[in-house]
Amino acid sequence: MNPSAAMASQPNRDLPPLPGRAPQPIVEVRSISKTYAGGIEALSGISLEFPEGRLTTLLGPSGCGKTTLLKIIAGLIPATGGQVLVDGREVTGPGPERAFVFQDFALMPWASVIRNVAFGLELRGVAHSEREAIAERHIARVGLKGFERKYPHELSGGMRQRVGLARALAVDAKVVLMDEPFSAVDEQTRRKFQEELLELVANEGKSFIFVTHSIEEAVYVSDRIALLSRRPSRVSAIIEPQIQRGGDPEKIRRDSAYLDVVEAIWQQLRHYLD
Amino acid sequence: MQISELAPALPALREAPARRWRDLLIHPLVLRLLSFAAVLALWEYAGRIPLSPAFPTFLETLGGLGAIMADGTLFKAFLITLHPLVIGLTASILCGIALGVLMGLHEPSEWLFAPIFVIAQAAPLAALIPILTFAYGIGLTAKVMTVCIMAMPVIVLNTLGAVRNTPKSLLEMGSSFLATRSQSIRLIILPAASPMIFAGLRLGCAAAFIGVILAELLITPTGIGDVISYNQSVADYPKMYAAILSIIVFSVLFIELLERIEVTLFRPEARP
């Protein structure tokens, strides 16, 4: 009944094979635990590997500590115990090799789109004209060309998250950490985003760590899903959905492999609800 | 043929002037003027009853205003009043914002200073004016101090609140993109706090105006306070009310100006 065993054996989808060796994990967490002040144990000894160039999702019931784990990886909150390794080196705080996409977008309302997108570069002291050129490219990349001088309040929720995404891409980090990035946008936009995310994973050569509570979303976008249990959270299963992603994106949602994985995960998660 | 084409448009044409009137009536500017006019009309009416022999009508007050403007009294009085006001307000703004930001960023200094300002904001500070007079005499210093104790608490506490209320996700965004402490203060905390700091400044300015008039009425009559109390003593009520009216109008215009400055300098997103 372990879905990972059932599905991990098939050959992976059309990613460039790494010559001669197993893919090196870009991020590795080793027995991470987190106890909040007041004794609430959020994470209990989580060990996970995040393969390079793939999208790995942390999926679990709400309040299970997925976001906590992501923020520990980002270096935004300290872990109580354990290690985070990025590219083989232990990290204890934020670093240039990781960029974060926030659930609530975290855009500066007083700054235009281009300044928001260029903000990571501004903080790193990149010259004004250079960072604007980079930002412009990424604004176009996420489909917001022409909105450079607008302010966040003039944009829809979906467009604001595109700004958040462009900002994360603009600093050219190896790892993009996304905290429920599509949960504050409407369903249509959300589907569009999921399709674009697949494209991004395929073309950017970056590694993505994605947090969501939506099973469908996780299966649709992920190369690998880490299923977290209820608090105190552990990894209850690793699932690698083997879905052919070429061609019509709508077809995937009707694909039987896709639906089977969704069902298998649901069966795993449902007993947390009781 | 042509007439039948026109026919459906006719009712619309006939309605047009009526709709134009309605649109005009609910125009924000018209409504604001109406609210002024209503208050002034009520004033005029109350003056004509008369409510009290010491209460002039609006038109009499305008006459008084004309008189004190014509002989230069008002202008000179304003210059005198502005002196402690400007010094006190500038000091309150500079110290108030600096102290508020410090308290917002550094918790021990909040514990140290905040109680003083919380009490100062709650207390009826006009009661302290005799003590200020005792300590600083009846000159400029006492008046400047009065302006400061009135204006500073609200500026400090609003600034403190503003800095404390920086959205957590913006702070996390800053640190995830490797902002140093000073970058995060300069580029995130202060801009995020500025609308609320300015709200505090507007309240602080209003309080400073109250402070300066109180000082001029209670310590020694100078400036506008002198015009008010002198005309009261000689029972020239239109001039007395004209002085009161002029300081109210001045205060409103000043605070409006402050808001304009805020939007032009600090709030590009709020510009039309």
B188 and B258 in a common domain = yes
Task: State whether residue A109 sits within 8 Å of chain B by CB.
Answer: yes
Considering the domain boundaries, does residue B13 fall inside one? Answer: yes
B118 and B35 in a common domain = no
Considering the domain boundaries, does residue B57 fall inside one? Answer: no
* DSSP reduced 3-state for A90: strand
Query: Which CATH number goes with the domain that contains B152?
Result: 1.10.3720.10
Judging contacts by C-beta atoms under 8 Å, the chain A residues touching residue B179 are 123
B173 and B205 in a common domain = yes
- Is the Cβ pair A119, B170 closer than 8 Å? no
| Per-residue pLDDT, A42 | 86
Q: Among all residues of chain A, which has the CA nearest to that of B170?
A: A106
B32 and B159 in a common domain = no
B16 and B139 in a common domain = no
Residue A164 has pLDDT above 80, yes or no: yes
User: What does pLDDT average to over chain A?
Assistant: 84
B146 and B104 in a common domain = yes
Considering the domain boundaries, does residue B241 fall inside one? Answer: yes
| Domains of chain A with bracketed CATH | 25-97+175-184+207-274 (3.40.50.300)
B219 and B96 in a common domain = yes
Residue A9 has pLDDT above 50, yes or no: no
- Is the Cβ pair B176, A74 closer than 8 Å? yes
Measured CA distances, A148 to A142, A184, B219 (Å): 12, 22, 57
| B170, B180, B267: residue with CB nearest A108 | B170
Please state, in angstroms and rounded to a whole number, the distance separating the CA atoms of residues B205 and A80.
48
8 Å CB contact between B206 and B151: no
| Per-residue pLDDT, A237 | 82
Task: State whether residue A98 sits within 8 Å of chain B by CB.
Answer: yes
Measured CA distances, A87 to A24, A52, B125 (Å): 8, 9, 62
Interface test with chain A among B168, B170, B172, B176, by most A beta carbons within 10 Å: B176
What's this model's pTM, rounded to 2 decimal places?
Answer: 0.83
ipTM: 0.85
B100 and B33 in a common domain = no
| Per-residue pLDDT, B96 | 96
8 Å CB contact between A164 and A100: no
Considering the domain boundaries, does residue B56 fall inside one? Answer: no
Residue A5 has pLDDT above 60, yes or no: no
> What range does the domain containing B41 cover?
2-51
Please state, in angstroms and rounded to a whole number, the distance separating the CA atoms of residues A134 and B64.
65
Residue A209 has pLDDT above 90, yes or no: yes
Closest CA to A226 of A107, A80, A65: A65
| Per-residue pLDDT, A259 | 84
The lowest-confidence range among A39-48, A254-263, B5-14, B136-145 is: B5-14
| Per-residue pLDDT, A63 | 76
Q: Which helix (H) or strand (E) holds B251?
A: helix B237-266
B225 and B100 in a common domain = yes
Total tally of structural domains belonging to chain B: 2
Residues of chain B with pLDDT under 50: 1
